[in-house]
Structure 1
């Protein structure tokens, strides 16, 4: 992806005049609207097509008006997010009521909670809980759990605050892609459909790794997403932790050691609520990465993540590219980012945006930072003057409300 003009860098007062930055002349995912008679299959291998009618999106008709979160067992509460964050969480961003699950993984013992059981449950869809006994348990994933696009519209994975899904440093943990023919096409416009609606809550994702060769599909759509990869539908993350996840070390535009998202229904945001991201490492986006996707990050903590690529985007001659967005990397056209009640600290980018890298190619994107602290997020080579830890190209400078950037 290429920056359409470097002149804007000078206007924004970027520290170095020779900075390459990420941008694109391609349409953002989620824009295409092919005819009903022909599925949008750009870049896909032809396969069987499952046709389903449109379904209600998150917060749409039929959704619960007041979702009821599932509480972890006493004394076993998952420590996630910023405990001092006080941003208001809208109804559609809250945890899903899982008191009446569709299916349960496990029969009351740790041994009954297996990788195969997780893979089977995620493929079947619905509201999924765990019964692995009273103590915390780590499930070592021997394969990536993949969402089947016809099995929903809601897919909820709730660990009850006691479950860790581990990629063992070898594979991606969770995968959803509405445009992957292997998971079934369910509409004629896979880039912009409201289902499946994937929610992960009260879970820990550790040791996810999408660096290639270790799991089927980890190079889909260009790679990235060490723990979770999503294209299409909707994604929500509530009260969850992401620890020591990885994706490719180099590459000008791939990223998301924890989460990579490409397109969401009608450009509705990915909600990340009361969650923690730490120890992530990738070419770009040591925690979160996206193209053409809006984010709302509430009452969360992003700490000690790294963008370790080099050469930025487009890649400088003789380099593999990457190295931007120590914690968050966002590229595309029209999208927004809102960060509220959140701490972003001690992240690092080899190139630009030690905390956040944000490039809106058509300069329509906006970013708001409210009641949040961004501190000690070094940018190795460039950032926007007056916004420590941030590289920003958009409609206007980021809006700061009671925000501390140091």
Structure 2
């Protein structure tokens, strides 16, 4: 076990970061698991005041498994800077324990990972298809993130922007996140994803996306990325752009995918035991906008409920709340669409 001097421990505590004691990994553990355990750390030293934006930013930059010790009550940490994943991290797991909220205060994006951004360190010659970092958000709430005006790699992702590596979201809540109000192919009020390792799907499990606003995809948006969404809820998200994509003459474009906006070539979407209700698109797909440009993409809806998701402009006949262009019509199993 690594032993720190009293002086070092005191200095870290003053910064609001407390090293988590770890034991040596068992011989049968995978190397990447050992890296994550060795890098374990705790934000905070038991008081609310110790759980600061600066402590979160430092912890995310270091990587590994991040937990919080902010006292016995739920805490909201006001993010004064965007926390950015460094691409030399094998894994970054942010576990809020069900009591931590990160707020962008309506001023900034909360989390950023981009394997093709040289400022976060280039680690391979194929930045758009590398296995790490593996970012996991668990038992966490992210509110009032805002990526308005962010243009690097197309912008979007009011709470979370990810390009490259891998992303997983587990038992987390996204509330009132925003990105630009206008523009074609710009989206992700809560989460925007571009590129995933070996085209593996983004996993979303047991999570809630509520009251997002963006030009397109007010909850989730991606280009050429697959998603597997399980036991999750999308409520009251609105795609507020106007003019669709490509933008009609005299408009700035957007307005599609009230909850989810997916574009690109070969990708998949699975909605399993998921509810979408009260999401609205000013143009197409009040619940889901799905366009596979080469018509290879597929969609599965299983044991889900998509109810009252108006498409103000257009949707696919017989699929309320959905605009779909893909390999074939969506596969719908024991679900309700109305």
Secondary structure in 2 aligned to 1:310?
coil
Q: Distance in 1 between matches of 2:324 and 2:331?
A: 11
Cα distance in structure 2, aligned partners of 1:105 and 1:170: 23
CA distance in 1 between counterparts of 2:32 and 2:239 reads 37
CA contact (8 A) 1:335 1:365 kept: yes
2:80 paired with 1:142:
yes
Change (3 A) 1:317 1:230: same
Which structure has the highest strand share of the two?
Answer: 2
Q: Unaligned regions of 5+ residues in structure 1, if any?
A: 1-59, 65-97, 213-217
For 1:128 and 1:316, how far apart are their aligned partners in 2? 46
What's the Cα RMSD here? 1.4
1:323 matched to 2:260: no
Maintained 8 Å contact 2:39/2:63:
no
1:174 and 2:111 equivalent? yes
Aligned partners of 1:367, 1:127: CA distance in 2, in Å? 33
Instruction: State the alpha-carbon separation in 2 of the partners of residues 229 and 305 from structure 1.
Output: 18
Q: 1:22-72 CA distances to partner (integer Å, 9 max, x unpaired)? A: xxxxxxxxxxxxxxxxxxxxxxxxxxxxxxxxxxxxxx96677xxxxxxxx
Residue 187 of structure 1 is matched in structure 2 by 124
2:184 equivalent to 1:246: no
What secondary structure is seen at the aligned counterpart in 1 of 2:137? Answer: strand
- 1:355 corresponds to 2:287: yes
Report the Cα offset of residue 343 of structure 1: 0.3
Partner SS for 2:55: helix
Q: Please tell me whether the aligned partners of residues 222 and 254 of structure 1 are also in contact (alpha carbons under 8 angstroms).
A: yes
Q: Aligned partners of 1:196 and 1:99: how far apart in 2?
A: 15
**How many Å apart are 1:220 and its aligned residue?**
1.3
| Normalised TM-score (structure 1) | 0.74
The match for 1:276 is 208
Match of 1:394 among 309, 326, 337: 326
Cα offset for 1:101? 6.7
Structure 1 residues 104-135: Cα deviation after superposition (integer angstroms, max 9, x where no partner): 00000100000000000000101110000110
Q: Which residue in 1 is equivalent to 2:53?
A: 115
SS of 1:266's partner is: helix
Return the offset for 1:170: 0.3
Correspondences of 1:284-363 after superposition (within 5 Å): 284-363=216-295
Residue deviations 1:180-210 (CA, integer Å, cap 9, x gap): 0000000110011110000000000000000
1:222 deviates by: 1.0
Q: Which runs of 4+ in 1 moved over 2 A?
A: 60-64, 98-101
Stretches of structure 2 that go unaligned for 5 or more consecutive residues are 1-28
The equivalences for 1:362-401 within 5 A come to 362-401=294-333
- What TM-score do you get using the length of structure 2 for normalisation? 0.89
Q: SS in structure 1 opposite 2:128?
A: helix
Counterpart Cα distance in 2 of 1:61 and 1:263: 25
Q: Matches of 1:63 and 1:337 in 2, distance apart?
A: 28
Q: Please state whether the residue corresponding to 2:153 is helix, strand or coil.
A: helix
2:267 and 2:326 mapped to 1: Cα distance?
9
1:61 and 1:128 map into 2 onto residues whose CA distance is 19
Change (3 A) 1:340 1:100: farther
Contact 1:303–1:346 at 8 Å: present in 2 too? yes
Indicate the residue corresponding to 1:200 in structure 2: 137
**Contact kept? 1:101, 1:129, Cα under 8 Å:** no
Q: Give yes or no for contact 2:129–2:198 (8 Å, CA) kept in 1.
A: yes
Measure the CA separation in 1 of the matches of 2:271 and 2:112: 25
Distance (Å, rounded) in 2 between the aligned partners of 1:339 and 1:101: 34
Tell me how far 1:333 sits from its aligned partner.
0.4
Asked which structure has the greater RCO (Cα within 8 Å, sep 6+), the reply is 1
2-structure distance, mates of 1:109, 1:287: 33
Q: Which secondary structure state, in structure 2, belongs to the residue aligned with residue 118 of structure 1? A: helix
Cα distance in 2, alignment partners of residues 403 and 266 from structure 1: 30
